[in-house]
Amino acid sequence: MDNRREFLKKASMLAGSTAAINLIPESIQKALAIDAKPGSSYLDAEHIVFLMQENRSFDHCYGTLKGVRGFNDPRAMRQPNGLPVWYQQNKNAEIYAPFHLDIENTKITWMGSLPHGWRDMVAARNEGKMDTWLEAKQAGDPEYKHIPLTMGYFERKDIPFYYAFADAFTVCDQHFCSSLTGTSANRSYFWSGTVREEPHNPESTAHVDNSQINYKDVSWKTYPERLQEAGIPWKVYQNELSLPVGFEGEEEDWLANFTDNNLEFHKQYHVKFHPAYYSFAQKRVKEIEHLLTVAKFANQEAYQKVVNELEGYKKDVEQYSPENFKKQSKQEQEIHLRAFATNTKDPNYHQLSKINGQDGVEIEVPKGDVFHQFREDVKSGNLPAVSWLVAPCRFSDHPGSPWYGAWYVSETLDILTANPEVWKKTIFILTYDENDGYFDHIAPFISPLSSKKETGAVPTGMNTADEYVTVEQETKRTGKNTGVHDSPIGLGYRVPLVIASPWSKGGWVNSEVCDHTSTLQFLEHFIQKKYKKEVKETNLTDWRRLICGNLTSAFRPIPENQRPAIDFVNRDQYVERIFSAKDKSIPGNFQAISADSLSNIKNNLSMNAGLGLQEKGTKPACAIPYDMDVNLSVEDGKLYFHFGLYGNLAHSKTVGVPFQLISHTAYGPKNEVGRTWNFAVKSKEELVYSIDLADIKNETFCFSVHGPNGFYRAFKGKVKSAFPNLKANSSHANIGFQLELKNSPVNLKVQDPSYGHTAKTLAANKSKKESWKLDKSNGWYDFEITSDQDPDLFIKYAGHIENGKPSITDPLMGGENILA
């Protein structure tokens, strides 16, 4: 463990400085230098280590990172006002776009968090329109209300460690948190796959607020219990729990686990048997008994409050004694001990020490080693098959705390790589529970309500009521008739996920849809393959299990893992400490954008919607199992959308893919612009969904379809005119794209404005097939179909054709012309 000054220097270095932009921290260098056995795969791993940090959206952290679907996304969704989702408008009609947060020259990391609960998450989504972020996520602090903080983002120079981490390993850019909620519900999905006592009963209360979960003795089954029953070793490491143990001042922020270990809230884990809490309870009984003999109380109410506290602690001392712990079943004793591993063997684990920082400022930091037990288990060869790390508040990356979390991640790597033989057999997964109040531009894929056709569609026989919270349920739960929501529970917004291991290094991007339950699905798969045991998390809904991947597409055999071409820099420069920014000014580099300046991109479906803020270039892209197509046919007064997932690509589980359909013209009795429908499509089961043309309230219809990894379709035409009978076919075998036309009423021009594929013409009143080879663009395509005879006609097919092999990320986002 570093001494206190070295710890602070390291934490400050990793947190960000201009000098560190091109820095590759030593912990990452060590991990990259260690190779697993040639010919091995991720199934040869022996240790899976998870760390879930706090409250950062994907765009907020990685929106400018090369290769990911960030701020250069050319196919960003459009809001009802016709503008790309980047341009958010408040109630005063002021428009703001994403702006840079300077971690070193402003006090941003000292300004606290933004709203991040069920109500504001649902409000920001606004039924899929994604147009109310500025109001829903406005800062609660009056001093900051005028700043559109939700739109703020960091760059490489601000958080260099995290960019280096993504450059070294595999980052997942289609990773969503599990629910449109705050911390506790998302962590419940992470550890148990549900937020209901009866996971598949839609009338069982959905625990969507932290207050429903935290220390409420919920009792649904968790995945660690299943591991215990199967004999799979596991442990949750933290310095100390969040139960009262006597911390004062800043001690809790530095030393307790920030209520981030949800197992504390499950009745079956009997958290109050925790020795540190029991000792504290005994101490409080004596203190309060003495207080009652000497204190004078202002009134009976104040006196009774103290008496009630005393009775509570007395009850706990009697009920949770060491003797009673021994009376619990072996299963209950084991899961308690494994869930609440703390650093009791470090004599200083409950203490802080003071050091002199820059300019003589006195700073408190942990006196002990917050990794003590984890470090010892790694050293002694006792690291279990599955581990979860839980950081203290100060190291959690939560916006309410200075951003020292990079040190915690780096130290985890240092511990795991101290013995190369351990790292050769380890998979380390870094994730985040939720997005706080920070904007992300990709609308989360959510489940339609299977009982309501007007919300979309799912595979035959699938019931999605367990993915919803109704107004009636919310009214019953909250006792309120106003401010309640009828909403899907999830998915929530994108958050970072980086998978570090010998089988996932090389700076790759994975674009398969995943969420927090994907880590459980990965464990299911890994344990079944390695130990020949089925440890299935039965709490998962059918919809979530179908559309969320199991992370296996992020791994590659050893020969494919080349070290990224990055110049290593010795970390010998002294850099500005992050705490020195505490007294800097608040961010001021934002400004409202005039609506007139955006008129050229409003409702322009052909224009690249990207902001041009990302780093240049591409990254290697993982093969993902999405051989998908969406087509439109028009007949008998209806629009028929054909959603297909051919299912010809290998994968380790049943594959499904989500889509979102958006109407950009007025629809239905409410003349709703921006109406959305959601779909889940199962492999080899085409889904056809119809919309009546009579429900389109304009002379033209205009729909877009969004899918994973930049998949996009746009269909625009006159309601009363014939629409071309056109079908797109994606060929995964030869990376080709084909358009099949049957008797179009007008001549059609086909152009690719993005990747340079050959323009072609499809003549009217003829049946014809035209094909394009996409190998030079690595499978990326962007075909636009127009007609000089019908200026209202516009069709766009864009995306990437998967063929089961690795590829590259979207060159259009990277500013590259592949065919030049």
Q: Which of 65, 57, 71 is nearest to 608 (CA)?
A: 71
The residue among 231 and 569 whose pLDDT is bigger is 231
Per-residue model confidence as pLDDT tens digits over 162-182: 999 999 999 999 999 999 999
CA–CA distance, 758 with 77 (Å, rounded to integer): 27
Give residue limits of the domains in the chain: 4-240+374-446+490-560, 624-804
User: What 3-state class would DSSP assign to 714?
Assistant: strand
Average pLDDT, the chain: 93
Give the CA radius of gyration of the chain: 27
Contact 466, 148 (CB under 8 A): no
Task: Give the count of alpha carbons within 13 A of 62, CB side only.
Answer: 29
CB atoms within 10 A of CB 211: 11
d(CA 31, CA 40): 17
Strands 456-457 and 676-682 come out as: parallel
Cβ–Cβ under 8 Å, residues 730 and 628: yes
- Examine the pLDDT at 577 and tell me if it is beyond 80: no
Contact predicate 470/396, CB 8 Å? no
Residue type, 643: F
Residue 730 vs residues 74, 641, 647: alpha-carbon distances, Å:
20, 16, 12
Single-letter amino acid, residue 635: E
Lowest mean pLDDT among 43-52, 213-222, 758-767: 758-767
Q: Which of 456, 399, 438 is nearest to 124 (CA)?
A: 438
pLDDT reading at 302 higher than 80:
yes
pLDDT for the residue 45: 98
Please check the confidence at residue 2 and state whether its pLDDT lies above 80. no
345 against 357, higher pLDDT: 345
* Statement: residue 355 has pLDDT above 60: yes
Question: Any residues with CB less than 8 A from the CB of 394 and at least 6 apart, and which?
Answer: 253, 254, 401, 402, 404
pLDDT digits (tens, 9 = 90+) for 399-430: 998 888 888 999 999 999 999 999 999 999 99
Count of C-beta atoms within a 10 Å radius of residue 736: 18
Q: From 679, 677, 653, 646, select the one nearest 801 (Cα to Cα).
A: 646
Query: Within 210-260, where are the H helices?
Result: 210-213, 223-230, 251-255
Q: Assess contact for 702 and 691: CB atoms under 8 A.
A: no
pLDDT at 401: 86
Opening angle at CA 525, ends 519 and 526, nearest 5: 85
The H or E element containing residue 640 is strand 638-645
Structurally, at CATH architecture level, domain 4-240+374-446+490-560 sits in: 3-Layer(aba) Sandwich (3.40)
Q: Does the structure show a pLDDT above 80 at 655? A: yes
CB 816 within 8 A of CB 617: yes
**What is the per-residue pLDDT across 722-779, written as a single tens digit (0 to 9) for each?**
999 999 998 777 789 999 998 788 999 999 999 999 999 999 988 999 999 999 999 9
> pLDDT by residue (tens digit) across 267-301?
999 999 999 999 999 999 999 999 999 999 999 99
Predicted local confidence at residue 663, as pLDDT: 98
Torsion of CA 403, 404, 409, 411, to 10 degrees: 170
Amino acid at site 597? S
d(CA 394, CA 403): 7
Tokens of residue 226, six digits: 């299943």
Q: For the chain, how far is it from start to end, CA to CA, in angstroms?
A: 52
Please report, rounded to a whole number, the percentage of residues in the chain having pLDDT higher than 90: 83
Supply the pLDDT for residue 18. Answer: 43
Predicted local confidence at residue 568, as pLDDT: 34
Q: Is the peptide bond before 263 cis (omega within 30 degrees of 0)?
A: no
Q: What is the amino acid identity at position 223?
A: Y
**Whether pLDDT at 571 is above 50:** no
778 closest CA partner among 749, 799, 752, 751: 799
What is the predicted pLDDT for the residue at 565? 47
Structure token digits, residue 36: 């697993």
3-state secondary structure of 238: coil
339 Rama class: left (phi>0) / alpha (psi -120 to 50) / beta: alpha
